[in-house]
Structure formats: C-alpha cells, structure tokens
Structure 1
Amino acid sequence: MVLLTPKMMQRTALFVTFGGLVTSLITTFLPLWKTMNSDLNEVENWFSGLWHTCLYTEEVGIQCKAYDSIMGLPMDLQISRVLMLVSVGTGGVALLAAFPGLEGVGMCLGQPGLKRRLLILGGVLSWLSGLTTLAPVSFVAYVTVVDFWDEGFPDVMPRWEYGEAMFSGWFGGLALVIGGTLFFVAVCMGDHDQRPPSVPNSPQAKPRTKHYLKTEVL
C-alpha cells in the first residue's frame, strides 16, 4: 500500500502513544476505580480512587475527600500510585524521545542512525509505560474480585465493584503497548527501505551458464 510508509507508521505510533498516555493520566486521578452502593440506601453511591474517596447523593451531589494517611492505605493502592506515576513519566519521556526521530522533523538531520535509536528508545519506553499501567489496574481488579467473593463478610454489607476508571486504564495501557510496537514496526520498515538493491552483475546473482556440446548431424 502507498500510504503504509515508515513516515506514516511513525506518526501513527506517536498518535496512539499520545492517546494512551492521556488516558493513563486521566485514569490516575479519576476517583472511579471502584464503586459501591448499598441496597439499604440506594440514593448513596461511593466511589474510590487512588487519591480520593467520593460520595454521591441526589440532594448534595458529589463530595470528595482525600485519604488522611498514605501509610494507612491498602497495599494495592500504594503500589498502584507508584506504578501509575511511573507510567505517566515514562510515557512522557517516550514521546519526547521519539519525536526528534520522526521523518520530516527538523531535528537530528543527517544522523539517520541517531533517529533510528531514538525511535527504538521511544518504543521501549512506551512498552514500559503500558506495562506499568496494566499492572496496577489488573492488581486492583484482582483484589476487588477477591474481596467481593470473600465469604467472611456478611451478605448485607455492600461490596466494592469495578469502576469506569478500571476500563479506561486497561484501554490506555493497551494503547501504550500498541504504540510502542508500532514504533518497532516503523523502524523495521525503514531498515527494509534503506537496504541496498541487489546488483544483477554481482557474483551471487550471476546466472548459471549452460554448456552445450556441439554435435554434427550426418
């Protein structure tokens, strides 16, 4: 395909990585990682995130409060905070590293090797950012499932369930991983286009000659 060029693939990778980074950044600060409502009081909905706990009522609206102590947080939230911040940081560095390596960008001109290395670095960092997004989201989801089916809690007690931020986190992490993969694909496509064409007169490409015996017909 004409449109499937290394330049187009690089820009697609940058766009997908940027979208995944923005989604992960929003997910980090959304108080919608877990949600809970009680059958005894259906007008109240509780929401929990990495930084805040919120209560929504029809009369007052939504009210959020930050956690009182970091050390008092559950282990899954403490680990998720660190990993999500690492994800946002590495995703931003991935974009900064890959942008000068794009074809058509007036940076690192005359240094194709440096541009290639910057794209590879951007792909690696994008992968790392995606994995550090998927890991905490999946960990919190696992803990939520375990607590939800814990038979030690009475049935009348409300249980935490998945919130919208869980799904946005999975989407952002996958987008970052896909963006990093597309950077590697763009590098491979560029290497294939820069490969010198085979010379017909080279010894490797020299065709075999056939030798015929001259015979006379009487």
Structure 2
Amino acid sequence: MSAVDSLGFLLGLAGWILIGICLGVDQWRVSTLDGSVITTSTIYENLWKTCASDSTGVYNCRNFQSLFGLSDYVRASQALMIISILMGFFAAIITLFGLKCTLLGNTDPIVKAKIATAGGALFIVAALCAMVPVSWYAYNVTVQFYDPIYPGTKYELGPGLYIGWAGGSLELIGGICLCLTCKTATGATGSYSYRYRAARSTPGGVSRKINSEVDNTSNYGKNAYV
C-alpha cells in the first residue's frame, strides 16, 4: 500500500531530523539544584562541550579539550550518534527510490517494495544507534545522581535526551512500516492457484448408461424396424 510506505518514510525522516537536533542540543545533562546552596549558576553539557550560565542569562561554553580525557561512554556515544546520522541519511535516500508514489528508479512494485524494505532496515539500525547512546548517557547521569559518595557535580536529564528518544522512536516506527511494504506488495501481486476437479467417470456409470439405452430400444415392437 502506498500510504504505508509514505507514512514510514515521513516518520523516518522526521526521526532523523530530531536526532540531528538532539546531537546539536547543548543540554544533555543539566546540573541539579537539589541539595545545592549556589543557585545563581547552571552547568550543562552535551557530547561535545560544557557550558555555564548565570542568573542574568550570560553563558559561556567550552569545547572538550581532549577526546581521550572523556569517559568511555561519552566517546562511544559520539561515535554511535554520528553513525546514526549517516545511516538515517542513506536510509532516506534509498527509501525515496522505493516509494510507490515516485517514478525514480525501477517502477516494478516488487522491486520498489524490496528497496523500501532496505531503507526501512537502515532506519531501524539508525534508530538503535541513536537510542543506545541516549539511554546509556541517561543511565550514567542517573547512577551519578543517586550515588551518595560521588564527588563531582550531579546532573539531571536534559531536554536533548528526550529529543533523542523521540527521534529514535519515530525512526523505529517508520522503519517497521517500510519493512511491512514488502510483504504487502508480495501478497498483492503473488500468484494464485485454482483447483480443477475433473468429473469422475466410473465403469458402473458407463454400464448403467448402456443398459438404459438397451431398455429404451426394447420398448419398441418388431414392426418398428420394418
């Protein structure tokens, strides 16, 4: 169905855009005010930089100086988010050739359905590559927040994480919708077999027919043949 693949493409594209926005949002984690005496400044970070703002709205950001000085989960999250952006881009391009409402590439509905399925699979992989680092990052923020002996600044979940979850969910749903188009197209254009049942012929039926003809001829007298 054309509506299913179009909906899957739009959902996947919207999810890819949200993941790109998530990657650029500064507030992946925000310093908490719980138990803090100083409330005039706020510290927030993402995968690339840390920022500080005061009550007057003035803020200052600083990029992380060394990649190897970061935590392992931060470096892994950076790599997975970049992979997710690239996979989502290629998924959108491939899916565009597989939509039934477009005349790009092969016009055979079966071929288009397979292309759309490939794009849907890439959308699913891109969604997983985005949701894993976002969830991993949120897990570490939560563990540090509830750790009573953690010496550093404690943070809460920032809006960037929620945007990442929303984008990954849309990509995942869109990819599933696109994967369903291949099954739909195959079922719609598949070959159907019809059973042909020949009439049964039995020796008894032939003999009964012959006997009935003999009986009919016996009803005539001898004069009928003269």
Would you call these one fold, judging by a TM-score over 0.5? yes
Partner of 1:14: 9
Moved more, 100-109 or 82-91: 100-109
- For residues 122 and 198 of structure 2, the distance between their equivalents in structure 1, rounded to whole angstroms, comes to 47
Q: CA deviation at 1:195?
A: 2.4
Q: Secondary structure at the match of 1:70?
A: coil
* Within-5 A mapping of 1:132-211: 132-153=129-150, 158-197=153-192, 199=194, 202-203=195-196, 206=197
- For residues 133 and 68 of structure 2, the distance between their equivalents in structure 1, rounded to whole angstroms, comes to 18
Q: Secondary structure at the match of 2:52?
A: strand
Q: Secondary structure at the match of 2:47?
A: coil
The TM-score, its normalising length taken from structure 1, stands at: 0.84
- For residues 151 and 83 of structure 1, the distance between their equivalents in structure 2, rounded to whole angstroms, comes to 30
Q: Secondary structure at the match of 2:148?
A: coil
- RMSD over aligned CA atoms reads 2.4
Q: Secondary structure at the match of 2:62?
A: strand
Instruction: Give yes or no for contact 1:30–1:165 (8 Å, CA) kept in 2.
Output: yes
Unaligned runs of 5+ in 1: 1-5
Instruction: Give yes or no for contact 2:32–2:156 (8 Å, CA) kept in 1.
Output: no
Which residue among 110, 114, 118 is the counterpart of 2:115? 118
Q: CA deviation at 1:153?
A: 2.9
Partner of 2:211: none
Partner of 1:48: 45
User: Once the two structures are aligned, what percentage of the paired residues are identical?
Assistant: 22
Query: Match for 1:47: what amino acid?
Result: Y
- For residues 106 and 43 of structure 2, the distance between their equivalents in structure 1, rounded to whole angstroms, comes to 54
The TM-score, its normalising length taken from structure 2, stands at: 0.81
Partner of 2:20: 25
Instruction: Give yes or no for contact 2:130–2:164 (8 Å, CA) kept in 1.
Output: yes
CA pair 9-82 structure 1, distance change in 2 beyond 3 A: same
Unaligned runs of 5+ in 2: 209-226
Q: Larger helix proportion, structure 1 or 2?
A: 2
CA pair 119-41 structure 1, distance change in 2 beyond 3 A: same
Q: Deviations over 1:171-201 (max 9, x none)?
A: 11111111110001222222222124554xx
- For residues 143 and 104 of structure 1, the distance between their equivalents in structure 2, rounded to whole angstroms, comes to 44
Which structure has the larger Rg? 2
Q: CA deviation at 1:109?
A: 3.4
Instruction: Give yes or no for contact 2:41–2:54 (8 Å, CA) kept in 1.
Output: yes
Q: Secondary structure at the match of 2:18?
A: helix
Query: Match for 2:180: what amino acid?
Result: V
- For residues 183 and 60 of structure 1, the distance between their equivalents in structure 2, rounded to whole angstroms, comes to 45
CA pair 177-207 structure 1, distance change in 2 beyond 3 A: farther
Q: Secondary structure at the match of 1:152?
A: coil
- For residues 207 and 99 of structure 1, the distance between their equivalents in structure 2, rounded to whole angstroms, comes to 49
Partner of 2:63: 66
* Within-5 A mapping of 1:95-110: 95-110=92-107
